[in-house]
Amino acid sequence: MKPVQVVIACHTPERPVGRAVASILEGNAEHAEVLVVAHNRAAEEIRDALRPEHRDRVRILEHRDAYRSASGPFNAGMDAATAPFVAIMGSDDTLAPGAVASWLEVRRATGAEFVVTRLALGDAAHGVPTPAARMLRTGLADLTRDRLAYRSAPLGLLDRSMLARTGARLVEGATVGGDVGMVTELMATVPTAYDRFGPPYVIGEDAGDRVTYVIRPLSEQLGFFPDVLDAPWSARLPATARRAVATKLLRIHVFGAVFYRQDEAVWTPDERAALADITAGVLRRAPGCELPLSRADRRLLDACLDPAVPAGELMAAARARRRHGRPATLLPRDLTRALDREAPLRFMAASLAVQRLPALRSKALRSKALRSKALLTRALR
């Protein structure tokens, strides 16, 4: 048995599940095997979507439920796994060659029970700048200092004995955010490491039917907030950690929800009231979480809290906060917070480093190897 089983959830053979499987069996087969969960589909339908040479090397498990959510099949796959470690993967995503070996090496070096993978978008060259971790840090990562909360899915290496001990699971039936509570809890409570320079998990860009892309009522889209803010493990966090998590919920989930609703008709009185209530709830549970936000963010935050603000002004504020580089997007209202870890200056610098440094490091290592080879060739002449 290989040390790692990668669980792939697939709800239709039209998804590029064959490509996902190939990325494991052709680039990570030394350390990993594949368990595909056919979600509300017959196993043979999914098997037929695999490449012929891979069909006999993959275990396919059928899982049926009443939800259009990946949480159920992922949980079923993790429950059925038998290897010491497990990982989950979307059917339109891939693993770069050597990714699993890198996770295992990080785990060996740090003793982590959760190794957070590096992410890329579309192909391995386009790094994703989250989490905005300390790039020169070795060893275990820290929820607050490494801004781990910005990773919203438990992607990477998971110790199965840890999952059994903690009971950590995805929220069954959740169409949005069913993984946020689980991943945040793990990063806050178990030894976690970030594979800063390893080959990435590559997020596919060719699937247009991800359930997270659908615009839903805010009470549904942001309904996972209590799983994060009201959970017993969350209540035990230090105040700084709770503020960091809440800042992320505002910056990514609340502000993102507004940005992707650029239609005044969407903003009914009920939706504006829900937005105000959800936003106020975050501030109430983590006082001070708004202080590091930029002036442009605070303008949007004020509009979220006040249903009387015209919808056009609300939407304009959501667009304005994305015009990066202007003073309003770089500085908080209170300038004493300008160098806060969550404030734009440090946050953006760390994000850029996470996105660019792995490629620069790889280039430098290749150049060093070529120089060494050239010197050896000269010496042997």
Residue 205: what pLDDT?
A: 80
Q: What are phi and psi of 171, to 5 degrees?
A: -80, 115
- What is the percentage of the chain residues whose pLDDT exceeds 70? 92
Residue 380 is predicted with a pLDDT of 61
Q: What is the pLDDT of residues 264-300, one digit of tens each?
A: 999 999 999 999 999 999 999 999 999 999 999 999 9
Q: Which CATH code, of 3.20.20.70, 3.30.360.10, 3.40.50.10860, 3.90.550.10, is assigned to 4-213? A: 3.90.550.10
Rounded distance between C-alpha atoms, residue 375 and residue 373, angstroms: 5
Residue 128 tokens, joined: 């994703």
Can you count the helices (H) and strands (E) in the chain?
16, 10
Is pLDDT of 359 > 90?
no
| Confidence label for 369 from pLDDT (cuts 50, 70 and 90) | low
pLDDT at 3: 98
Domain boundaries, the chain: 4-213, 234-340
Confidence of residue 32 (pLDDT cuts 50, 70, 90): very high
3-state secondary structure 221-238: HCCCHHHHHCCHHHHCCC
Sequence-ordered alpha helix ranges (H) in 232-289: 232-235, 239-248, 255-259, 269-285
pTM of the predicted structure, to 2 decimals: 0.91
CA distances from 97 to 28, 69, 170 (A): 6, 28, 27
User: Given pLDDT bands bounded at 50, 70 and 90, which one contains residue 201?
Assistant: very high
d(C-alpha 317, C-alpha 363), whole Å: 40
> What confidence tens digit (pLDDT) does each residue in 125-148 have?
788 999 999 877 789 999 999 999
What band does 374 get if pLDDT is binned at 50, 70 and 90?
Answer: low
**Worst-scoring range by mean pLDDT, 19-23, 97-101, 209-213?**
209-213
